[in-house]
Structure 1
Amino acid sequence: MNRETINTYACLLRNYLTDLGMGEYWAALLNVIANVIVVAVVATILDIVSRKIIVQLFKAFSDKTKTTFDDFLVKSNFPRFVAHFIPLGLVWYLLPSIFQDFEPVEQSVHTLALLYLVLLSILVFRSLLRTANNYLRYSKEKYSDKPLESYVQVLMIFAWSVGIFLLINILTDFSLKSLTTLGAFSAVLLLIFKDTILGFVASIQVSVNDIVRIGDWITFSKYGADGYVTEINLATVRVQNFDHTYTTIPTYSLIADSFQNWRGMQESTGRRIKRSIFIKQNSIKFLSAEELEQLKKIQLIAPYIEHRERDVTKYNKATEADKSLAINGRNQTNLGIFRKYADAFLHENPAINKEEFLMVRHLPPTNKGIPIEIFCYSYDKTWVNYEHIQADIFDHLIASVPYFGLELFESPSGKDLANISLNTRK
């Protein structure tokens, strides 16, 4: 249907009312009102019908294809937004005919249509970004732990900036052609989006340098965060703590402050156990032959005691050491044999990774005794299992201490002090 035919139909009511003797102004006004109502009803019906048809076509198409991209398009309402362009196009085409007797009104409605077109275009662009984000995150494994939200937010900020400028330009004919105006506008944008720009730079560095991924376990004491990263976006990093609370961390803080990322441990061949037990210093002593014979009953260290005993005896004979005093020559101590027992126990433990570093050592004496540190790695890195393995090791070692004539250090309790006081009185 050409423009002349449309104009003829659009003036039917006006011509009819004029023929009946009504004034031209009122006839034209009623004609415009009637045209607006008719076009509004048609556009609404067209919008509903086209939306249903396009959505169903998209769903049918997505069900037949192997790719999931079109599925995410449907979920992000892309077909619904696209369907709105059809009634908008109809209204746009009919505007000159509807308001041919009221050109100023036509200009105003045309402006509104332009505003709606800009907003609709932004919504379509946002839908495409969300689709791309979901598709890459859930369909492409290599992007599942990348901060895609940051890039989506930056592009949306750019889209809204362009959209706001176009809206202002449509409403006021404002132009950014002069460099002075462009510079001022840029300064305002930099001031408004300072934190956003910092976050964007940080998110790029986080992604490029592989500092943090979604799913990483991080500890960030400054913000009280200790848990798994669930989201990385332009402004914040979201962490789900182990008590199921959430902590939000500014993205920029990931490169400005220090935090702990446990990914290296999770990707390694073992999880470190590093803990000490404290031995009373006055319980350490040289061992007599009878005590050594008793300790030989402990199967794990019997070969070691025998081998070490031969070396000590050989050395003492060679040096003619006076063994009437135990301090002369070489001797075995209960603490030394206990250390060897702890080392042998760890090597026999199937839960400990023997290919990783393994050591039982003395630490410098303290006012709480001599720390004997266990340093090794468990095969199982799952937190609960790791704690069970660690507890089993120290349960056994703590229970083993008395067999070597050693005592564990423990600060005196109120009952201990009461006993001391009672014994003093006696």
Structure 2
Amino acid sequence: MFGIQLNQFTPQELLWLSVSGLFVLGFIARFLMSKVLIGLLEAAAKRTKSIWDDELIAAKVFSRLATIALPIVIYIGLGFFYENVAPTSPIEPADSADAAAPQPWLMRFLQVWMAWIAVRVLDAFLNAVVAVWNQDASNRTRPIRAYVQVVKIAAWLFAAILAISFLMDESPWALLGGLAGAMTVLLLVFKDSIMGLVASVQLSNYDLVRVGDWIEVPSYGADGDVLEVSLHTVKVQNWDKTITTLPTTALVTGGFKNWRGMSESGGRRIKRSISLDMRSVQFVDSDMLARLKQIDYIQDYLNRKTQEVGAWNKEQVVNESSLVNGRRLTNLGTFRAYIEFYLQNHPSISKEMTFLVRQLPPNEKGVPIQLYVFSTEKRWVQYEAIISDVFDHIIAVIPEFGLRVFQNPTGADFHRLISK
């Protein structure tokens, strides 16, 4: 009786009836997988300590995998139909006019569908791999996103070749052989990806930049922390909280400044100068010497220097009637010595790294005294507070040495001059 009922339909009618029934079965299978199976997996994941199952669920690997139930059920069912019910095979087109014409195309379409789902599952799995990798603190400075993106591009490219080969009913390897002649065009199409891959490999192998590094790329207006290093771009969060995105190749070809060395060293450099009025520079006379000896930091220094200078002048039989003769202490040199002693006693100034207080060449703005030292504090806010504290003190003590800070005249200066 079952055979009589089948004979009442043409092969084409049987085909579409089968497809309709298989769609219903496929949707049921997909529902069972997506609701029941994935529900059980999620419940089990909550009870385990492994982060892999959590990230696989978060990346929707199982959700995407569940969607393959629909095309698989239809594909298996149609294969059975073509072999046992319809008079034609599932691969070759029918020779008779009564055969179902759409049969090979349905099978090929289902193959393309399954290939597309498979590559989406792989894409989600790779996202989970990146998430698991980044959860390890030691791996955050060695990003693998660029390499994962290369794998994704290769996977999608291979899936596209598979889809074309399924639709054309050709071997994918034969199709790849035919594409060899178009390699030049492919190289042009994927030029940016290839250059980005090379740049990413160089950045990683030579450890040029890591996630979390503070970098400066003036040509792109980037000055801040690296958030992400991918195949094509590097994402930088600037200090004003804006985001700058620049090509990965720009870091290799254009150059950049990486402040990681400062972060990993024992301190952060302070390089700042203050200009003094040259007309305020003078020899230290007896009155000034007596006043300066009251300063604790340079008391021993002044006693030692006065003995040294006095002994030298006595040995050279210097005429003491003029300060110009022989060796003399100056207020500028004494002030420079005071800065050195002050910084040596400052708790936030490193004594192990470069420590230099020097006089720069005089210019139209006076005599610059430069501090070239390192702060033990590397955090920005605290670092700036230390600089401010040091220079607040230095500016305040300058008049004690008979010196004046150089600054351009202001409106108040001109008003005072006119009033006189």
TM-score (norm 1): 0.90
How many residues end up aligned between the 2 structures?
405
The Cα of 1:281 is off from its aligned counterpart by 0.5
Which residue does 1:169 correspond to in 2?
A: 165
From 135, 139, 142, the equivalent of 2:138 is 142
Which residue does 1:88 correspond to in 2?
A: 71
Could you list the runs of 5+ residues in structure 1 that have no partner in the other structure?
Answer: 1-7, 19-23
Say yes or no: does 1:332 pair with 2:329: yes
Which residue does 2:311 correspond to in 1?
A: 314
The Cα of 1:111 is off from its aligned counterpart by 1.1
TM-score (norm 2): 0.91
1:14/1:178 Cα in 2 relative to 1: closer, same or farther (>3 Å)?
closer
From 278, 281, 306, the equivalent of 2:275 is 278
CA distance in 1, matches of 2:300, 2:16: 107
Q: In the TM superposition, what whole-angstrom CA distance separates every residue of 1:180-239 from its partner, at most 9, and x where no partner exists?
A: 733323222211110110000000000000000000000110000000000100100000
CA distance in 2, matches of 1:181, 1:225: 45
**Amino acid in the other structure paired with 1:85:** I
The Cα of 1:12 is off from its aligned counterpart by 7.0
The Cα of 1:301 is off from its aligned counterpart by 0.8
The Cα of 1:58 is off from its aligned counterpart by 2.4
**Amino acid in the other structure paired with 2:140:** S
Matched residue SS, 2:101: helix
From 280, 305, 320, the equivalent of 2:302 is 305
Matched residue SS, 2:274: strand
CA distance in 1, matches of 2:351, 2:205: 35
1:360/1:12 Cα in 2 relative to 1: closer, same or farther (>3 Å)?
farther
CA distance in 2, matches of 1:293, 1:143: 62
Say yes or no: does 1:117 pair with 2:114: yes
**Amino acid in the other structure paired with 1:189:** L
Superposition map of 1:241-390 within 5 A: 241-390=238-387
The Cα of 1:89 is off from its aligned counterpart by 2.5
Preserved contact between residue 218 and residue 260 of structure 1 (Cα < 8 Å): yes
Which residue does 1:37 correspond to in 2?
A: 20
Which residue does 2:187 correspond to in 1?
A: 190
Matched residue SS, 2:102: helix
CA RMSD of aligned residues (A): 2.0
CA distance in 2, matches of 1:303, 1:97: 103
**Percent identity of the aligned residues?**
36
Q: In the TM superposition, what whole-angstrom CA distance separates every residue of 1:115-157 from its partner, at most 9, and x where no partner exists?
A: 111101101111221111111111x333212231111111111
Matched residue SS, 1:366: coil
1:12/1:111 Cα in 2 relative to 1: closer, same or farther (>3 Å)?
farther
Matched residue SS, 1:136: helix
Preserved contact between residue 14 and residue 30 of structure 1 (Cα < 8 Å): no
Which residue does 2:92 correspond to in 1?
A: none
Q: In the TM superposition, what whole-angstrom CA distance separates every residue of 1:88-131 from its partner, at most 9, and x where no partner exists?
A: 32211210455644542221211111011110110111122111
Say yes or no: does 1:131 pair with 2:128: yes
Which residue does 2:237 correspond to in 1?
A: 240
Preserved contact between residue 165 and residue 175 of structure 2 (Cα < 8 Å): no
Say yes or no: does 1:154 pair with 2:137: no
**Amino acid in the other structure paired with 1:170:** F
CA distance in 1, matches of 2:72, 2:403: 91
Preserved contact between residue 96 and residue 106 of structure 1 (Cα < 8 Å): no
**Amino acid in the other structure paired with 1:395:** D
CA distance in 2, matches of 1:389, 1:107: 78
Preserved contact between residue 36 and residue 98 of structure 1 (Cα < 8 Å): no
CA distance in 2, matches of 1:192, 1:12: 58
Which residue does 1:4 correspond to in 2?
A: none
